[in-house]
Amino acid sequence: MTPISDDRAQRILELLRSCGQQAERMARETFDVFQKGPSDYVTSIDAALDRRLTEAFTTLFPEDGVITEENALSRKQFTSQHSRLWCIDPLDGTEDFIRGKRDYAVMVGLLEDYQPIAGWIYAPAQDQLYYGGPNWGVFQAVPDSSPLLIAEPPPPTSQFCPILIGYRDQKRYGSAIELAIPSAQFSSLGSFGLKVMEVIQGHAGLYVYLNGRVKIWDTAGPLALANAAGLVCCDLEGQAIRFSANSMDLDTLAHKQAILVGWPEYVEALLPNIQQAVKDVLES
């Protein structure tokens, strides 16, 4: 069942699609790019969507906390007394977006008592909108809302082992993982959320994220959908991904845990090999 009213759920769908289409329009014009930190960028489009989404969710859910990527002050909401927190990423995959690539998304996640209970991911370039959560299901909303086909890929073999991994992680850990898993077949795209959707739809068996940069607004929505689809969301020790205060950097709201999102058979088969690969890199 939906964790919010049907009316509010419909308004979120309309809002995210409208924001995504706004990003598409703005991308065809000149926009500004700013550097927030080392290899961390933001555009004037991120900022515009952030303001719009902040205003909309604050109005829709005045009783809840609202945390957005581009409003640093909103991070204080994480340690507030709110039982529900909306975590908003106005443009997930900004670096690829800047380079003119199309694998970016507008994302929203809902935490209740620090557990991801709902998520929304809209990919404007493909006009695909996914949403749902545990005890709700996983749906696609374009052209009409309907259950999403969740497809488990064939199990990993000595010839078949599709793994999603980000560009930075592949550069640092890819060779070691290939030594540990010779059949590993890597692929990638920009958005964290869209990578998770690739696993949910069976285009890969596992998504590996190791570089420690991912924040709460990147993960809340996608992991709610992954949990709803029956995927395992764990760290390198096999422990569940946590959203509590002792699991986050409270200044940046970055996860302290590495993140693996995958089908149970893939996680069980590949986790020891990935553990060893990471250990080898860190000790080299």
Tens digits of per-residue pLDDT, 168-210?
A: 999 999 999 999 999 999 999 989 999 999 999 999 999 999 9
Q: What is the CATH number of the domain that holds 187?
A: 3.40.190.80
Residue 77 shares a structural domain with residue 172? no
Residue 179 shares a structural domain with residue 278? yes
Q: Is residue 31 part of a domain?
A: yes
CB–CB of 259/242 below 8 Å? Answer: no
Q: For residue 193, give the nearest of 138, 252, 120, 249 by alpha carbon.
A: 120
In the prediction, which pLDDT does 123 show?
96
The CA–CA distances, whole Å, from 217 to 78, 242, 245, 253 equal 11, 14, 15, 8
Domain total in the chain: 2
CA distance 44 to 34: 8
Is residue 273 over pLDDT 90?
yes
Range of weakest confidence among 34-38, 124-128, 163-167, 221-225: 34-38
Q: What is the pTM of this model?
A: 0.95
Q: Is residue 153 part of a domain?
A: no
Residue 142 shares a structural domain with residue 13? yes
Q: Is residue 240 part of a domain?
A: yes
Question: Among 104, 125, 147, which residue terminates a domain?
Answer: 147
CA distance 69 to 89: 6
In the prediction, which pLDDT does 94 show?
79
Is residue 36 over pLDDT 80?
no
Residue 11 shares a structural domain with residue 127? yes
Residue 122 shares a structural domain with residue 197? no
Question: Among 119, 147, 175, which residue terminates a domain?
Answer: 147
- The per-residue pLDDT for range 122-144, each reduced to its tens digit, is 999 999 999 999 999 999 997 78
Residue 121 shares a structural domain with residue 184? no
Q: Is residue 216 part of a domain?
A: yes
**Confidence label for 32 from pLDDT (cuts 50, 70 and 90):** confident
Q: Is residue 1 part of a domain?
A: no
In the prediction, which pLDDT does 216 show?
98
Q: For residue 208, give the nearest of 281, 142, 139 by alpha carbon.
A: 281
In the prediction, which pLDDT does 206 show?
98
CB–CB of 263/231 below 8 Å? Answer: yes
Range of weakest confidence among 4-13, 30-39, 248-257: 30-39
CB–CB of 157/184 below 8 Å? Answer: no
Residue 143 shares a structural domain with residue 25? yes
Tokens standing for residue 274? 């990935």
Residue 187 shares a structural domain with residue 274? yes
Question: Among 114, 147, 180, which residue terminates a domain?
Answer: 147
Structural domain harbouring 137: 6-147
Q: What is the CATH number of the domain that holds 110?
A: 3.30.540.10
Polymer length in residues for the chain? 284
Q: Is residue 61 part of a domain?
A: yes
CA distance 31 to 18: 19
CA distance 200 to 204: 8
The residue-averaged pLDDT of 263-279 equals 97
- The per-residue pLDDT for range 101-124, each reduced to its tens digit, is 889 999 999 999 999 999 999 999
Is residue 100 over pLDDT 90?
no
Selected residue with higher pLDDT from 33 and 257: 257
Q: What are the two backbone dihedrals, phi and then psi, of residue 125, each rounded to the nearest 5 degrees?
A: -65, -30
Residue 11 shares a structural domain with residue 143? yes
Is residue 163 over pLDDT 90?
yes
Q: Is residue 104 part of a domain?
A: yes
